[in-house]
Amino acid sequence: MKIATISMACEHRKIEKIQDNLEYIEKTFEEISNIKPDLVCLPEIFYYAGVEKRGDFYSSEIKVFLKNLAKKYKTCIAGSIYDEREKGVFNTCVFINREGEIIGKYDKIHPTESEIEDGIIPGSKEQKVVETEFGYLAAQICFDANWFDEWKKFSDMGAKLIVFSSSYPGGKVLNSISLLNSIYIVASIREELKAGIIDNTGRWIVKTNRFSYWVWCDINLERTVFHWDFQGDRLKGILKEYRDKIKIETFGDEALFTIEPISKDVKIDEIIKKYELVTYKEYIKRATKIQDKTRTK
């Protein structure tokens, strides 16, 4: 899966109106098209970056704008917009497929106090993952980063990648969330130095900087995280059988290891079944169940 994420780089651009941001996004998509991305991610309310909000939300216009970009460049898009509905206005991450169709949404569950004062409605806590051609994806928006249970819930629902469309960077919070939930995070942040992609062990793969306002990389959603307990001794046998068809990484301090199929004819589920492996997430669930069952108080 080839993913690109964009910073609005307000520090280096003269922004006077929304149109300036839309033109910037159009030019950036043209640049990104050279790598033929599968998914492009945008920051929180990207069109208002550096612009004072004046009460207009432009929901329908921005949706058309994003749909046209997706169709033109045959790429999926995810990013946060203000979404006007009968109930009011939500801060919503929309997922758009290559044909320009909205295939899923996530409403920001935890708007800031100032957002609520401005009329933004908190999203439902009963939201689902989004089914895409890559599998299940999900989103979190800015202030949501501080409520860890929501990330875990989406991970438990099967999301291996979560889009973090945001105004603030999140910092080490994102690394911890990624590691503890074994999920990839695509951070699309307004600031030039903060957007990037984190692998499912909490490690930054790429990050924007003052020379690169957008970055990209290939990720393999088959890469799976395991705990060392009771199964680390099986790695030598796995490597002997699959050789260069897989990549294994070990993480000593965390007592974790990852297995990533490199060859298309190798599937991670096949390895898990054959060697009776337990993923890190399943190991923690299993341990929790046993602990709760035997707890006396």
Instruction: Tell whether 42 and 187 lie within a shared domain.
Output: yes
Instruction: Tell whether 210 and 238 lie within a shared domain.
Output: no
Residue 225's alpha-carbon distances to 5, 54, 123, 182, 251, in angstroms, are: 24, 46, 31, 6, 10
What CA–CA distance (Å, rounded) separates 180 from 148?
10
Instruction: Tell whether 240 and 198 lie within a shared domain.
Output: no
Q: What pLDDT shows up at residue 57?
A: 74
Please provide residue 146's backbone torsions phi and psi, each rounded to the nearest 5 degrees: -85, 0
Residue type, 268: I
Q: What pLDDT shows up at residue 52?
A: 77
Instruction: Tell whether 85 and 149 lie within a shared domain.
Output: yes
Instruction: Tell whether 264 and 147 lie within a shared domain.
Output: no
End residue of a domain, out of 218, 233, 253: 218
End residue of a domain, out of 174, 196, 218: 218
What CA–CA distance (Å, rounded) separates 257 from 250?
4
Instruction: Tell whether 66 and 156 lie within a shared domain.
Output: yes
Q: What pLDDT shows up at residue 82?
A: 95
Return averaged pLDDT per consecutive 10 residues of the chain, 297 residues in all: 96 92 97 98 96 78 97 98 94 98 98 95 97 97 97 97 97 97 97 94 97 97 98 97 98 98 96 98 96 92
End residue of a domain, out of 168, 185, 218: 218
Domain total of the chain: 2
Q: What pLDDT shows up at residue 54?
A: 65
CATH number (domain holding residue 88): 3.60.110.10
Instruction: Tell whether 202 and 61 lie within a shared domain.
Output: yes
How many Cβ atoms are within 10 Å of 2's Cβ, its own excluded?
15
Sheet with 246-251, side-by-side order of all strands: 224-227, 256-261, 246-251
* Structure tokens that stand for 209 in this block: 């900087």
Range of the domain at 154: 2-218
Q: What pLDDT shows up at residue 58?
A: 81
Instruction: Tell whether 264 and 148 lie within a shared domain.
Output: no
Q: What pLDDT shows up at residue 55?
A: 66
Instruction: Tell whether 164 and 126 lie within a shared domain.
Output: yes
